[in-house]
Chain A
Amino acid sequence: DQQVKQNSPSLSVQEGRISILNCDYTNSMFDYFLWYKKYPAEGPTFLISISSIKDKNEDGRFTVFLNKSAKHLSLHIVPSQPGDSAVYFCAARKTSYDKVIFGPGTSLSVIP
């Protein structure tokens, strides 16, 4: 039973437009959420995170929104660039010392 879900396996966006990647979770005990980006043949790299006490966190072109009541978070990339083409993983954990659980990933293609 997946606790972290990313229901869109793939997404295609035009360069310069907004990319919105969605993530849903089932465990209400999760209190910290992360997004990772992965290029082929490389390990995942950290992108942005958000604590459950916030509803928004921004870092340059990347913004993560958290809706706790809906158990939903989204990653917005504005503007999208071809170099953003990668697989994006949503992840969550319960407490500071708990394991991090990842979703299945969304493959983003940014078309020039």
Chain B
Amino acid sequence: DAGITQSPRHKVTETGTPVTLRCHQTENHRYMYWYRQDPGHGLRLIHYSYGVKDTDKGEVSDGYSVSRSKTEDFLLTLESATSSQTSVYFCAIRVEANEKLFFGSGTQLSVL
């Protein structure tokens, strides 16, 4: 699993509340990613990071922000959750030696 841990695994929240998802890695990889998975859309990139404090937007970044203050942690924040953000969220790291992405087990988020 390339040492990736996502927390929480499941979360139910109400519309309008802020939510933070955490991705933690143990292997010091430079690149980290947040994707969401929805039926018919596959995996869509929200934000990614290429180093501490270095982040960039992906395909569906509206309504999301990220922070990376340490190499091992990449946080995804929904500033004010909406029902359209109900999804499964996956964190991934890239192993630069072989360019493969390794994914965490996912966070199921329900916004009611």
Interface residues of A (CB under 8 A from B): 6, 9, 32, 34, 36, 41-46, 49, 89, 91, 96-97, 99-105
Contacts and interface: CB of A to CB of B under 8 A. Distances in A.
7 contacts: A43-B92, A43-B105, A44-B101, A49-B99, A102-B42, A102-B43, A105-B43
Interface of B: 1, 33, 35, 40-45, 48, 50, 56, 58-59, 90, 92, 94, 99-106
Contacts of A32: 99
Contacts of B103: 43-45
A103 to B, nearest CB: 5
Task: Report which residue of A6, A46, A100, A102 has the largest number of chain B beta carbons within 10 angstroms of its beta carbon.
Answer: A100
A104 B42 contact: yes
B48 to A, nearest CB: 6
Given A42-B105, A44-B90, A89-B42, A101 B50 contact: no
Contacts, number: 55
Task: Report which residue of A36, A43, A45, A96 has the largest number of chain B beta carbons within 10 angstroms of its beta carbon.
Answer: A43
A100 B90 CA distance: 14
A42 B90 CA distance: 10
A44 B101 CA distance: 9
Given A34-B100, A104-B41, A104-B42, A99 B33 contact: yes
Contacts of B106: 41-43
B58 A99 contact: yes
Given A43-B90, A46-B100, A89-B42, A102 B35 contact: yes
Nearest to A103: B42
B43 A44 contact: yes
